[in-house]
Amino acid sequence: MKHYDYLIVGLGLAGVAFCEQLQKSNRSFVVFEDSSQQSSKVAAGLYNPTVLKRFTVAWRGPELMMKSIPMYRELEKKLQIQIDSQRSIWRKLNNVSDQNNWLVASDQPGLESFLESEIAESSNASVHAPFGFGVVNQTGTIDTRQLVAAYASDLKNKGLLRETSFVYEDIVEEETSLMYQSIRCKHIVFCEGYGVKKNPFFNYLPLKGNKGELLVLKAPNLNLDVILKAGVFVIPLGEDCYKVGATYNPMNKDSIPSREAKDDLLNKLLKLIKTDFKVVSHVAGVRPTVVDRKPLVGRHPKHKNLYILNGLGSRGVLIAPFAAQSLFENIENKKALAAEIDIQRFSDAALAL
C-alpha cells in the first residue's frame, strides 16, 4: 500500500499549480490523469491584467501577475523548457471614441503601469488599423500545452503519475484519512476542469463550460512580433506561424473543431489583416467557466477530506497559482479562502445534497 499526503485528480493548469505548491512544501502526492480534458492543452495561454473590452483592470489583475509569472519562470528552469513569451498586446482602436477612452484609461490608477498613454500607429502594411492601437505592456503568453506535457513527463519519471481514469466509487472515507484502491492519503483534490460534471461529489456546483476554438495560421508576409487584439487575438508563434482565437460557445460541450467557429474566426481575422495565409491546424476545448466568473476552490460541505480546484476560465494562466496557493494554505494552515473564490458562496446548492 502506498501512502501520500495528497491524491490529485487532473493535470491541467490547476493540477500543475497545485502539484508545484505541494513540491515546494515537501508534501507527498500522486496524480491521476486520463487526458479526457483538453482545455489547458488548447488554451491561448495569454496573461494580461487588464480587460481590453472595457479598458479596466481585471479581477485581482496586478496581484495575480505577481504570483503567477514567477511560478512559470521557476518551472522553465526546473523542467528546462521555454514557455514564457513576453510580448506587448496591441489592441485595435475602432474609432475616435475608442481613442479617447483609451487615453482616459491609461491615466487611471492600476492601469497606468500597463497601458501606454500614446496611441500607436502600425507601420505594418498587412495590418488594417486606421485609428491605431492601444498598447498593453507586461503581457505575453504561456505555452500551456508544452507546460502540461513537460510536467506530466517529470511526474511520470518520478513515479507520481497514474495515466488512468479515476473511479469515484472506490473512495473509502476513514476517520482521519481516505483509501483509494491501493492508496491511503489524507486529502483528495479534484482539478478536473469541465470533467467535474461527472464528479458525484462536486457536480452540484454551477460550472457551465464554454467551448473555445483556435486556429494556427502560416502567414509568411505578416511579420508580427506583438500580439494583436481586435475581435480575435493574433499571437506570433515563430517561423511565420500565428495562433488565432478564440470563440466562446456556452451551448456546445464537445472538443470537436467546428466549421462555424472556423468561419467566425476567419471573418474577424480578415477585418484585421490583409495578407495571404494558410490554416495549418484547428483545435477546440471546453473552458471550465463559472456563472460569476470566479474559480471554484474549497472543501466539500459534507466530505471533509475532499477538495476542489477548478473554474479557472479564460484567465487560467493568471489565476491558477493564486488559487492553488489559497487552497493549500486553507488545507494546511486553516487560512480562510477569499469569499469570492470559496465554494461556500454556493451553499444553497449544497443544501440540496
> Residue 240 is part of a domain; what is its CATH number?
3.30.9.10
The pLDDT tens digits of the residues spanning 1-20 come to 899 999 999 999 999 999 99
**pLDDT for 41:** 66
Q: pTM for the full model?
A: 0.94
Interhelix angle 13-24/316-333, rounded to 10 degrees, is 40
Question: 108 and 218 in one domain?
Answer: yes
CA gap 263, 28 in Å, rounded: 47
- In degrees rounded to 5, what are phi and psi of residue 174? -110, -175
Helices 316-333 & 61-79, crossing angle to 10 degrees? 90
Whether 218 and 327 map to the same domain: the answer is: no
Q: Quick one: which of 159, 216, 178, 198 has its CA closest to 286? A: 198
312: nearest Cα among 56, 62, 15? 15
The domain in which residue 322 lies consists of: 2-42+145-205+291-350
CB atoms within 10 A of CB 260: 12
3-class secondary-structure state, position 348: helix
At 353 the pLDDT is 63
282 in the same domain as 313: no
pLDDT of residue 350 exceeding 80, the answer is no
What whole-number distance in Å separates Cα of residue 338 and Cα of residue 29?
A: 25
Residue-averaged pLDDT of the chain:
94
Average pLDDT over residues 186-196: 96
The angle at the Cα of 250, spanning 248 to 252, to the nearest 5 degrees, equals: 100
Return d(Cα 233, Cα 89) in angstroms, integer.
9
Question: Degrees (nearest 5) of the Cα angle 194, 196, 198?
Answer: 110
Q: Kindly report, residue by residue over 286-342, the tens digit of the pLDDT.
A: 999 998 999 999 999 999 999 999 999 889 999 999 999 999 999 999 999 999 999
User: Which amino acid, one-letter code, is at 281?
Assistant: S
Task: Say what the pLDDT of residue 271 is.
Answer: 94
Q: Is residue 180 part of a domain?
A: yes
Which CATH number covers residue 295? 3.50.50.60
pLDDT-above-70 percentage for the chain: 98
List b or e across 267-302, with b for residues whose CB sees 16 or more CB atoms inside 10 angstroms: eebeebbeeebeeeebbbbbbbbbeeebbbbbbbbe
Backbone angles phi, psi at 161, to 5 degrees: -120, 125
pLDDT above 80 for 351? no
Lowest pLDDT segment from 14-23, 30-39, 95-104? 30-39
pLDDT of residue 137: 96
The answer to whether residues 220 and 128 belong to one domain is yes
Q: How many domains does the chain have?
A: 2
- Tell which of 248, 269, 287 closes a domain: 287
115 within domain boundaries: yes
Q: Is 169 exposed, middle or buried (0-12, 13-18, 19+ CB in 10 A)?
A: exposed
pLDDT in tens, 144-157: 999 999 999 999 99
What is the per-residue pLDDT across 59-81, written as a single tens digit (0 to 9) for each? Answer: 999 999 999 999 999 999 999 99
User: Cα–Cα distance between 320 and 292 in angstroms, integer?
Assistant: 17
Q: What is the pLDDT of residue 44?
A: 87
83 part of a folded domain? no
- Residue 43: its pLDDT value, please? 82
Is residue 68 domain-resident? Answer: no
214 belongs to a structural domain: yes
